Chains A and B, each alone.
Chain A
Amino acid sequence: MIGRLREWLADRLGLDALQHLAEKKDVPVHRHTFWYYWGGMTLFLFGIQVATGILLLLYYRASADEAYESVRFIMTQVSFGWLIRSIHSWSANLMIGAAMIHMFSAFLTKAYRPPRELTWISGMVLLGLSLAFGFSGYLLPWNQLAFFATKVGTDVTGAVPVVGGFMLRFLRGGEHISGGTLTRFFGFHVAILPAIATLIVGVHVYLVQRHGMSVPPSVEDAGGPKRRMKFVPNFMLRDMVGWLAALGVLALLSALFPWELGLKADPFASAPAGIRPEWYFGWMFQTLRMMPSHILGIEGELVAIAGIGLGGAVWLLAPFLDDPRGRGQRARMMTALGVVALVYIVAFTLLVYRGAKP
């Protein structure tokens, strides 16, 4: 019976072609195959975000008067609301972590080499979107920590020369953080960003299918991958083991470390001590904090922003700056840059928590 249904659908949807493609797809097997799973992991966690996010939408209210209470309601009155909410908050962090692992592994294996430049660029856009998702979502519970973290974050945006003032007002929906900011962030988080993300994810995944998996230069030099494994079922089964592990981690975190409710945001109270943005912005935050007030007559903050901006531009344009074959002096420098960036980001993220106060 199921077979007849499948046939009926296949005839109309052209499923046979898709099945053919899936069966043809294979994945190179070598020392670095492990890193291939992280893209799928990021996508899986994104799927979790969409599902739990949609569920949260059924009870959440995006007004300054009701946001906090609605989250409290979800945590305490709705059956398993605590689980859905905690999974959503934890999975956001896990997703961004997975995205960064995916990005660094792609960079250090030079997966951005031609013809995969657009894959890299779309991936960087997706990372930016993830950070935007995280930043906008963080405000929605409308608690003290979120309120002031958003204030600090948007303050920094305001420091960008020329466009900073406009960007600040665009993000905040005015000069100050208010109920208007909440509504706007909600709109970004549930409509605008998902729409753009769906598009870009589509492009990114299509490109990956089109070009297949990139093989690191070191493996190519050693004579290429010894063998390839079929995507279906071998790679997929392995993917699913990873996804199950992620699910287990999420269950553990949600039950043992439920996401805090915090105190309702009070714009007139003083900022809580030790206020800082979420960890994925930590290294930027720490860089800004450690800047001296002036360097060669220019404001330290501006120097930091310019530096980070420049670094980001280099990172984004890596496919065009690196040697197209992924070898030689330029390639080695690029790898070194990647390692330095990784160490820098990890170190500075950790420094935020070591209580390295200015």
Chain B
Amino acid sequence: MRPLIVIRWALVVAALSAALAYVAPVARGAAPGAADTAAATRTGPSAKNTCFDCHSQLDDSRLSGPTKDFPQDIHATHGLGCVGCHGGNPNDPEMTAMDPDKGFKGAPARKDIAELCASCHANAAYMKRFNPQPYIFSMAEFRTSVHCKKIAEGDLKVATCTNCHGVHGILPPRDPRSPVNHRNVPFTCAKCHNAEYMKGRTVPTNQLALWRESVHGVALLVKGDMSAPACNNCHGNHGAVPPKTRDISVVCGNCHGREGELFAKSKVAETLEFEGKRGCVTCHSNHGIRPPTDAMVGLEGEGVCGRCHTAGSPGARAAAELVPRFHTFKSHLARADSLLGVADRLGVETAPGHEALKQANDALVGLRATIHSFSLPPIEAALAEGEGLASRAESHAREGLRDWRNRRAGMALSLVVILALMALLIARIRQVERPAA
């Protein structure tokens, strides 16, 4: 008898606790803070979300649209339902769920979106609950951006969080379908930064077209090199702003370390900054950067020096001196390469030669970087090193060809002996077969 009584009481207590747990969050009060609301709705996958249940059934696409992608939304997968941003009562299947007195906020005004997202994403303690090393959004950073400034001025045709990240189907940036995934970023920016949308404004609108054909665009989109920069790598993510003139070489130098380092210390950088010109962009352009060619060093044709330097200026004289030596070096390399090719085909040992040639080509890469010092001594030193290596490669190749000529000589000699022996044997045959004298 007694065990049954215990069991009965246990069941009652259990039921009551469950009911309490179920009811308690809702009884916490009206107008909860966003963090609290979020916590309120984070009660597991089986938690009720009547907003979703009702809205997904509606015919009006404006009302049912948000529900289509929401199940994949990163907020949904982490247990945050509609009420996390919009407030309201997720357990109430009636229209009373959308009672402002119960905390329903509806769709936020455009100018308030950033603050709403920031209410969670800028809260380090809160974000840590989902990821021990979270990205903490900085409202202060966002305020430095052109987008935020324009919104504050009342210009609403400008991007805020939802324009880039999406609204109801937000995917993390690492997801290839996300509009802020590395490969998609330029196209997301170009949704506004195009001629049609920007009509009436003074900002340039050709950035995407230029970037797509550029060495960075091709690297990222065609070759799949994920280290190539998209818009945000140079302009920033949330604090999006074109880099200041003096900062451009820092931006480029982030990846192009040696060139940036050398350039920053050069006279050219100093002069360009003094004249308010844009550093690296002056010669390389910003969005439509093409792979640099050696023809860029020079006054005419593809030469970029002529953009500032007049003929006869010290800079022009330096270029005039450098260009032929540069070409001599490259033709030296080409000669070594072709000689090694000939030696290879003839079957002689060429490994040391190829090794020296590789080092010489490395020196060529180094020379091209050293040009950015715009100072003759280091450039001349790099040239000398490269020439030395090219000479080594060539001498290895010539040694191999000498080997081959020696082989030919040896063969010729052996042929002489063979022919002599053949003649002697024929003579011997004749001798043996001559009738006895």
Interface residues of A, Cβ cutoff 8 Å to B: 75-77, 82-83, 86, 229, 233-234, 237-238, 240-241, 244-245, 247-248, 251-252, 254-256, 258-261
Contact assessment for B429 and A237 in the assembled complex, using a CB-CB cutoff below 8 Å: yes
The number of chain B residues touching the other chain, given as a range, is 20 to 34
Give Cα A259 to B345, complex, Å.
9
B433 proximal to A (CB < 8 A): yes
Give Cα A259 to B419, complex, Å.
24
Q: With contacts A258-B346, A260-B347 known, is A248 near B419, CB below 8 A?
A: yes
Pick from B415, B421, B429: contact of A252, CB under 8 Å: B415
Which residues on B sit within 8 Å (CB–CB) of A259?
347
Contact assessment for A234 and B410 in the assembled complex, using a CB-CB cutoff below 8 Å: no
Residue-wise, chain B 377-402 has the 8 Å CB interface mask toward A (1 for contact) of 00000000000000000000000000
Least Cβ distance of A283 to chain B in Å? 29
Give Cα A234 to B426, complex, Å.
10
10 more CB-based (< 8 A) A-B contacts, given A75-B349, A76-B348: A76-B350, A76-B351, A237-B429, A240-B425, A241-B429, A244-B422, A248-B422, A255-B407, A256-B408, A258-B346
Pick from A241, A247, A255, A260: contact of B425, CB under 8 Å: A241
Contact assessment for B425 and A252 in the assembled complex, using a CB-CB cutoff below 8 Å: no
Contact assessment for A255 and B432 in the assembled complex, using a CB-CB cutoff below 8 Å: no
Which residues on A sit within 8 Å (CB–CB) of B411?
251-252, 254-256
> Which of chain A's residues has its CB closest to B346's CB?
A258
Which residues on B sit within 8 Å (CB–CB) of A255?
407-408, 410-411
> Which of chain A's residues has its CB closest to B409's CB?
A255
B418 proximal to A (CB < 8 A): yes
Contact assessment for A75 and B425 in the assembled complex, using a CB-CB cutoff below 8 Å: no
Give Cα A147 to B415, complex, Å.
35
Interface residues of B, Cβ cutoff 8 Å to A: 344-351, 407-408, 410-411, 414-415, 418-419, 421-422, 425-426, 428-429, 432-433
Least Cβ distance of A69 to chain B in Å? 11
Give Cα A45 to B214, complex, Å.
62
Least Cβ distance of A56 to chain B in Å? 15
Which residues on B sit within 8 Å (CB–CB) of A229?
433
> Which of chain A's residues has its CB closest to B419's CB?
A248
Give Cα A247 to B433, complex, Å.
25
Which residues on A sit within 8 Å (CB–CB) of B347?
75-76, 82, 86, 258-261
Most central of B346, B425, B432 by chain A CB within 10 Å = B425
Contact assessment for B418 and A238 in the assembled complex, using a CB-CB cutoff below 8 Å: no
Contact assessment for A244 and B407 in the assembled complex, using a CB-CB cutoff below 8 Å: no
Pick from A75, A244, A260: contact of B418, CB under 8 Å: A244
Contact assessment for A244 and B425 in the assembled complex, using a CB-CB cutoff below 8 Å: yes
Give Cα A237 to B432, complex, Å.
10
Least Cβ distance of B408 to chain A in Å? 6
> Which of chain B's residues has its CB closest to A235's CB?
B429
Least Cβ distance of B129 to chain A in Å? 48
Contact assessment for A77 and B422 in the assembled complex, using a CB-CB cutoff below 8 Å: no
Least Cβ distance of A2 to chain B in Å? 21
Least Cβ distance of B306 to chain A in Å? 45
Give Cα A256 to B411, complex, Å.
9
Which residues on A sit within 8 Å (CB–CB) of B410?
255
Contact assessment for A234 and B432 in the assembled complex, using a CB-CB cutoff below 8 Å: yes
Contact assessment for A245 and B428 in the assembled complex, using a CB-CB cutoff below 8 Å: no
Give Cα A237 to B419, complex, Å.
14
Which residues on B sit within 8 Å (CB–CB) of A75?
347, 349
Contact assessment for B421 and A244 in the assembled complex, using a CB-CB cutoff below 8 Å: yes
Contact assessment for B421 and A251 in the assembled complex, using a CB-CB cutoff below 8 Å: no
Which residues on B sit within 8 Å (CB–CB) of A248?
414-415, 418-419, 422
Contact assessment for A234 and B418 in the assembled complex, using a CB-CB cutoff below 8 Å: no
Which residues on A sit within 8 Å (CB–CB) of B428?
237
Secondary structure call for the A interface: helix
Which residues on A sit within 8 Å (CB–CB) of B415?
248, 251-252
Give Cα A244 to B422, complex, Å.
7
Least Cβ distance of B432 to chain A in Å? 6
Give Cα A317 to B405, complex, Å.
51
Contact assessment for A241 and B422 in the assembled complex, using a CB-CB cutoff below 8 Å: yes
Q: Give me the 10 closest cross-chain CB pairs, A-B, nearest first.
A: A255-B411, A76-B349, A258-B347, A248-B418, A244-B422, A237-B429, A241-B425, A251-B411, A251-B414, A244-B418
Which residues on B sit within 8 Å (CB–CB) of A83?
407
Least Cβ distance of A84 to chain B in Å? 12
> Which of chain B's residues has its CB closest to A82's CB?
B347
Least Cβ distance of A233 to chain B in Å? 6
Which residues on A sit within 8 Å (CB–CB) of B429?
234, 237-238, 241
> Which of chain A's residues has its CB closest to B423's CB?
A241
Contact assessment for B349 and A251 in the assembled complex, using a CB-CB cutoff below 8 Å: no
Least Cβ distance of A240 to chain B in Å? 6
- CB-defined A-B contacts under 8 Å, sample of 8: A76-B348, A86-B347, A237-B432, A247-B418, A248-B419, A251-B414, A254-B411, A255-B407
Least Cβ distance of B318 to chain A in Å? 44
Give Cα A160 to B344, complex, Å.
40
> Which of chain B's residues has its CB closest to A239's CB?
B425
Which residues on B sit within 8 Å (CB–CB) of A82?
347-348, 407
Give Cα A83 to B426, complex, Å.
28
Which residues on A sit within 8 Å (CB–CB) of B346?
258
Give Cα A258 to B400, complex, Å.
14
Give Cα A254 to B410, complex, Å.
11
Least Cβ distance of B164 to chain A in Å? 41
Which residues on A sit within 8 Å (CB–CB) of B419?
248
Contact assessment for A237 and B425 in the assembled complex, using a CB-CB cutoff below 8 Å: yes
Which residues on A sit within 8 Å (CB–CB) of B407?
82-83, 255
Give Cα A254 to B429, complex, Å.
30
Which residues on B sit within 8 Å (CB–CB) of A254?
411
Give Cα A233 to B426, complex, Å.
12
Which residues on A sit within 8 Å (CB–CB) of B418?
244-245, 247-248, 251
Which residues on A sit within 8 Å (CB–CB) of B433?
229, 234
Least Cβ distance of B426 to chain A in Å? 6
Least Cβ distance of A29 to chain B in Å? 11
Give Cα A254 to B411, complex, Å.
9
Give Cα A234 to B434, complex, Å.
12
Which residues on B sit within 8 Å (CB–CB) of A261?
344, 347
Least Cβ distance of B86 to chain A in Å? 55
Which residues on A sit within 8 Å (CB–CB) of B348?
76, 82
Least Cβ distance of A7 to chain B in Å? 26
Give Cα A82 to B421, complex, Å.
25
